[in-house]
Amino acid sequence: MDKDNSALIEALQRSEKRFRSLIENVLDVITILDKNGIISYESPSVERVLTRDGARIDADFVVVGIGVMPRTGLAEAAGLPVDNGILVDAGLRTEAENVFAAGDVANAYHPFAGRHVRVEHWANALHQPVVAAQAMLGKDAVYDRLPYFFTDQYDLGMEYTGFGGGEVVVRGDDREFVAFWLRDGRLTAAMNVNVWTGVPEVAQRLIRSGARLDPAALADPAVPLEDMTA
Ligand SMILES: Cc1cc2nc3c(=O)[nH]c(=O)nc-3n(C[C@H](O)[C@H](O)[C@H](O)COP(=O)(O)OP(=O)(O)OC[C@H]3O[C@@H](n4cnc5c(N)ncnc54)[C@H](O)[C@@H]3O)c2cc1C
């Protein structure tokens, strides 16, 4: 477990107690085909997982990550560059004239990040096609929105924005909190859980500013986020 993430882990562990009672009611033994080797979660309390090679790993809690693999076969067959998705420039153009890619499958050059980024979220799939369409029309369009998603899990609603990575600072308690990721004192991402005060907008401004932030002030709910130096 990453020491930098201890505050976030503590918040998740507190939340997990409530999920545990739900899991006990719903699951007996789930068997999944996981390429990383976990084949079952042993219930009723999800105290350990069983891997393909027979190892039993004790677990305080289990985070199940369900995602997708970019389906790039068509692009590969067409000879387009593919690396963790179809490689496109900031205007969602592939190397082939008049061929574009957007959404989950696109690994797009992101001007702010300064690298290619592939995002598997609804907001990206919603907004990238607009830029692709503009580029198709010959406009000098660039997709530079910061990654964002929202999701609702039972009575927890959350929003996340940014690229993530770095030290985690948490403001709030286990039911309502904001986690901030800081690298060299600069905000890289924020996730608000059951907090609906426009955190993503402020966080995006802070991320883009590159300003150094005081972790103690970030962790203090009495300090308005809007007052952070930016
Ligand atoms: C379980 C799950 C939960 C999620 N929850 C959230 C959430 O809470 N919040 C959030 O922001 N995002 C969430 N997402 C992600 C979100 O659903 C995706 O980011 C979004 O749907 C991507 O849209 P897309 O149009 O890029 O791709 P898709 O929706 O995958 O559409 C691609 C389409 O192309 C078709 N296709 C592929 N290859 C070919 C081919 N060769 N020929 C013809 N058609 C082809 C596919 O069949 C598919 O219909 C979730 C995803 C999953 C799987």
Query: Got the DSSP string for 25-45?
Result: HH-SEEE---TTSEEEEETTT
179 and 111 within one domain:
no
- Calculate how far, in angstroms, residue 149's C-alpha sits from the geometric centre of ligand 1: 14
Residues 173 and 221 placed together within one structural domain of the fold: yes
70, 89, 145, 140: CA torsion to nearest 10: -140
**Residue 14 lies inside a defined structural domain of this protein:** yes
Number of domains in the chain: 3
Question: Atom 17 in ligand 1: which residue has the minimum CA distance?
Answer: 122
Nearest CA to ligand 1 atom 42: 74
Of 80, 122, 160, the residue with max ligand 1 atoms within 8 A of its CB, to mutate for a pocket test, comes to: 122
Same domain, 190 and 120: no
Residue 120 CA, ligand 1 centroid: distance in Å: 8
- 204 and 156 both lie in a single domain: yes
Is 86 found in the same domain as 53? no
Out of 136, 160, 178, pick the residue that ends a domain.
136
Whether residue 209 lies inside any domain: the answer is yes
Number of other residues whose CB lies within 10 A of the CB of residue 229: 10
For residue 50, the enclosing domain spans 3-58
**From the CB of 77, is ligand 1 less than 6 Å away?**
no
Question: In this structure, are 163 and 220 located in the same domain?
Answer: yes
* Residue 142 falls inside a structural domain: no
**φ/ψ (deg, to 5) at 119:** -115, 130
Instruction: Tell me whether residue 88 is in a domain.
Output: yes
Do 109 and 154 sit in the same domain of this protein? no
Distance CA 162, CA 169 (A): 15
Q: Which of 72, 88, 104 to mutate to test the pocket of ligand 1 (most atoms within 8 A of CB)?
A: 104
Q: pLDDT tens string for the chain (230 positions)?
A: 444 566 666 666 666 555 554 444 444 334 444 455 665 655 566 677 777 777 777 777 777 766 678 999 999 999 999 999 999 999 999 999 999 999 999 999 999 999 999 999 999 999 999 999 999 999 999 999 999 999 998 889 999 999 988 999 999 987 899 999 999 999 999 999 999 999 999 999 999 999 999 999 999 999 998 888 65
Q: Is residue 113 in contact with ligand 1, taking CB distance under 6 Å?
A: no
